[in-house]
Structure 1
Amino acid sequence: MKLHDRVFLLLGGTGGIGKALVEPLVRAGSRVIVASRHPERIGHLEGVSPVCLDLAAVDLDQQLARLTEAYPEIDGVIHCAGQNRFAGLARMSVDELDAQLNVNLRSAMLVARHFAPRFETAGSGALVFVGSTFGSIGFPGYTAYCATKFGLRGFTEALRRELADTAVQVVYVAPRATATDMNAEAVNELNRALGNSVDTPQAVAAAILKAMENGDRRRFLGWPEKLFVVINGILPRIVDKAMLKQLPVIRRFLNTKVAS
């Protein structure tokens, strides 16, 4: 897809990967409408319009309707908002579970439900969803996060096939570990202990834009993570055994006060 002369609604654009997407999109010739619960944090940037939107709200569908009334020219959406918490399932509160379900999965479904018919009628449009390697590989300490990202991957796959005979593009990009403020220090220490590679938000943003420009349907980032995704889909017992060996290290960081 082209990026020049596009109007993208960017969800999750005030931190991490989303924030790293703003300037490259503007440089590519796009206008960016950054939606956030705290639009005042976005500042004043040429080519960028901050708007208020709460992805966890019960009335998200109504908020989206008001947003498109104000900005009917939107012809692309990039959904990279997300929440997670590194903790054992028993230590997760109901509110924390609901927050991840609402932001990571429910909001993506409502956004697509709102924009897909409009893009189909317009004869063009793009829906871009940022998932995770944990949307293909279950990882201890991320049960809720994995559930939402598995759901997001399945949703985008089904949606892409549902819209296959239309001009609406559906793109799914799955980063591996990324250095964002969303990670607690225990997570950073765990990645170091396991020797996991961690990408910068800027590197992930560049890969997302490349996937969009190339018209990729799906893109998984990182090596050997891409290989593990394939192995886990075919021979999950191999990944089970590898995770079991890592479990003592994972538990050590999972049970720290920082993680809780």
Structure 2
Amino acid sequence: MKLHDRVFLLLGGSGGIGQALIAPLTAAGAQVIVASRRPEQLSLSQGVTTARLDLAADDLDAQLESLSQERPDIDGVIHCAGQNQFAALASLSVEDLDAQIAVNLRSAMLVGRHFAERFVSAGKGDLVFVGSTFGSIGYPGYTAYCATKFGLRGFTEALRRELADTPVQVLHVAPRATITAMNPESVNAMNQALGNTMDQPATVADQILAAMRQDRSRRLLGWPEKLFAVINGVLPKVVDRALKKQLPVIRRYMGTGVSS
């Protein structure tokens, strides 16, 4: 996948991994359009443009259609928007669940649905979806988030196979824990207590771009997390036992159950 002379629509570019992607994309010669609910509040480098999109809106499909008419030059999409809440399932409201499903999964499916057809008709285009290690490993305190990220992984795999005889590429990249504003301090403290490594957004952004340049269809980031994902797929009871040992610490930081 080449980056030079490309026009990428970046979803989730106002912070974290998405924001860290902007500079290397432009340095590689790509144009970047950062989508946001409130683009007027963004402070971006010169040459980076914005678009108004609300990924949780009921009319997202109509918004995408309008954007396509305004920017027919878009030939790549990077979806790295996301929401999560570190909490026991019982403490999540219906609104909490709906918000994560809407942003993490529904928006990705609508984006894929809209641009895949357009890119196939154009004979070129690339779709990049940033998931999570928690799309391969169910983790306590992240039931809703894991459900959406498992769904995203399945969606991208099916879409990639559906488009296998077209020029359109579909890439799924799954980072491990990353230091972003999306994570509350309790998550950072838990990861420190458990000895889990957290990557900087710039590190993850570099790995995403490397996967794009290498035409990778899927990539798990981080060691030993990528090994745990493989083990979880073939020997889930091994991971069950490992996480059960961690459960008292996890419960302490998600504010429910026993403490250690």
Q: Structure 2 vs 1, CA of residues 44 and 87 (structure 1 numbering), >3 Å: closer, same or farther?
A: closer
Shift of 1:38: 1.5
* Structure 2 equivalent of residue 141 of structure 1: 141
User: CA distance change for structure 1 residues 181 and 44 in 2, over 3 Å: closer, same or farther?
Assistant: closer
8 Å CA contact 1:133–1:229 kept in 2: the answer is yes
* Equivalent residue letter for 1:194: L
Q: Which residue of 2 aligns with 1:126?
A: 126
The equivalences for 1:169-184 within 5 A come to 169-184=169-184
Q: CA deviation at 1:41?
A: 2.8
After superposition, the C-alpha distances for 1:239-259 in whole angstroms (9 at most, x for unaligned) are: 000000000110111117xxx
Q: Distance in 1 between matches of 2:254 and 2:198?
A: 19
Query: How far, CA to CA, are the matches of 1:41 and 1:203 in structure 2?
Result: 26
> How do 1:187-202 residues align onto structure 2 when only pairs under 5 Å count?
187-202=187-202
> Would you say the 8 A contact 1:14–1:41 is kept in 2?
no
**Alpha-carbon distance in 2 for matches of 1:239, 1:100:** 25
Q: What residue in structure 1 maps to residue 219 of structure 2?
A: 219
* Code of the aligned partner of 2:91: R
Aligned ranges 1:105-120 → 2 under 5 Å? 105-120=105-120
Q: Is the 8 A contact 1:25 1:32 kept in 2?
A: yes
* Partner of residue 23, structure 2: 23
Secondary structure, counterpart of 1:51 in structure 2: strand
Alignment RMSD (CA, Å): 0.7
Match of 1:10 in 2: 10
Deviation at 1:87, TM superposition (A): 0.2
Residue by residue over 1:18-65, the C-alpha shift from the partner in whole angstroms, topping out at 9 and shown as x without a partner, is 000011100000000000012123224223111111000000000000
In structure 2, the gaps of 5 or more residues are none
Q: Deviations over 1:147-193 (max 9, x none)?
A: 00000000000000000000000000000000000001100000000
- Does the aligned pair in 2 maintain the 1:125–1:167 contact within 8 Å? yes
Question: Are the counterparts in 2 of residues 30 and 47 from structure 1 also a CA contact under 8 Å?
Answer: no
Output the TM-score relative to the length of structure 1.
Answer: 0.97
Q: Residue 205 of structure 2 aligns with which residue?
A: 205
Give the 4+ runs in structure 1 shifted more than 6 A: none
How many residue pairs get aligned? The number is 256
Mapped partners of 2:111, 2:44: distance in 1: 25
Q: AA paired with 1:222?
A: G
For residues 43 and 242 of structure 2, the distance between their equivalents in structure 1, rounded to whole angstroms, comes to 45
**Superposed CA offset, 1:170-225 (max 9, x none):** 00000000000000110000000000000000000000000000000000000000
TM-score with structure 2 setting the length:
0.97
